[in-house]
């Protein structure tokens, strides 16, 4: 299996980096390697920096070859992505998403599922393009977007499939802070050091308690999606 994800750990901070040499498309192999990396981070009790190539793309979304290969494969991959997003939402240690590049479709959903999001302030595109490419949004995606995208951006983002430049992407809830793309990782490392000073028992307890209703709703949505035979 080709190495698509790297894991490094230093001073209580794990850096999990996707890099397939192209658009960091999300495939079963990518998700398997991401889950292995997050297993390591959980065992190391690490604050996580989740990123793509230095100054490059975070993720262009699902592997379209798989999505176009048939309805069963498309539904299975979509649900695999939803389960991974659900894992991020419940991960017991802080997850900081950091990217100086684009985050599209499931790439953008992974930003929404992180605890803190840092993006480059120029030249990036972020958003949910499902309706642009002929996909009716799945239940899980609708509920995740409804939770984290402000109402006045929700129609533009989820229904209209609008792709945002950095400042609008921040206003639409995909980023917490924007910085020069060459400073994204330094900003993420500083943020991770700050978050490492949190009491992790209290962090985990508060994160899980505050998201109980959301997790219940997302588990329902995932169950509905798993019943689908096609993504229309």
| Average pLDDT of the chain to the nearest whole number | 96
Alpha helices in 28-105 (DSSP H): 28-44, 64-67, 71-90
Entry pTM: 0.96
Collapsing DSSP to helix, strand or coil, 208 comes out as helix
The predicted pLDDT at position 56 comes to 84
Q: In the chain, where do the E strands start and end?
A: 5-10, 13-18, 47-51, 95-99, 103-104, 116-120, 126-127, 163-164, 177-179
| pLDDT band at residue 144 under the 50/70/90 scheme | very high
What domains are there in the chain, each with its CATH number? 5-183+197-226 (3.90.226.10)
**Mean pLDDT value across residues 30-53:** 97
Q: Is 46 left (phi over 0), alpha (psi -120 to 50) or beta?
A: beta
| pLDDT band at residue 146 under the 50/70/90 scheme | very high
Judging by DSSP bridges, how do beta strands 47-51 and 13-18 pair with one another? parallel
In the predicted structure, residue 139 carries a pLDDT above the cut 60: yes
The predicted pLDDT at position 175 comes to 98
In the predicted structure, residue 232 carries a pLDDT above the cut 70: no
pLDDT digits (tens, 9 = 90+) for 93-124: 999 999 999 999 999 999 999 999 999 999 99
The predicted pLDDT at position 71 comes to 86
In the predicted structure, residue 28 carries a pLDDT above the cut 90: yes
Q: How far is CA 91 from the centre of its chain?
A: 13
**Mean pLDDT value across residues 124-153:** 96
pLDDT digits (tens, 9 = 90+) for 53-94: 877 899 999 999 999 998 899 999 999 999 999 999 999 999
């Amino acid at each position: 299996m080709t190495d698509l994800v790297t894991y490094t750990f230093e001073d209580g901070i794990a850096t999990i980096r996707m890099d397939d040499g192209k658009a960091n498309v999300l495939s079963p192999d990518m998700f398997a390697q991401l889950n292995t990396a997050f297993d390591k981070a959980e065992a190391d009790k690490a604050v996580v920096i989740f990123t793509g190539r230095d100054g490059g793309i975070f993720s262009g979304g699902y592997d379209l070859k798989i999505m176009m290969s048939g309805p069963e494969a498309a539904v299975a991959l979509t649900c695999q992505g939803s389960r991974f997003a659900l894992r991020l939402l419940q991960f017991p240690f802080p997850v900081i998403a950091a990217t100086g590049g684009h985050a599209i479709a499931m790439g953008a959903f992974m930003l929404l599922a992180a605890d803190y999001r840092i993006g480059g302030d120029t030249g990036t595109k972020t958003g949910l393009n499902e309706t642009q490419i002929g996909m009716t949004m799945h239940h899980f995606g609708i509920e995740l977007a409804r939770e984290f995208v402000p109402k006045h951006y929700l129609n533009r983002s989820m229904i209209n499939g609008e792709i945002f430049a950095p400042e609008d992407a921040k206003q639409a809830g995909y980023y917490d802070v924007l910085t020069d793309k060459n400073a994204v990782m330094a900003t993420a490392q500083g943020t991770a050091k700050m978050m490492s000073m949190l009491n992790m028992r209290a962090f985990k307890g508060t994160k899980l308690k505050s998201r109980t209703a959301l997790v219940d709703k997302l588990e329902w949505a995932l169950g509905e999606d798993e019943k689908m035979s096609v993504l229309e």
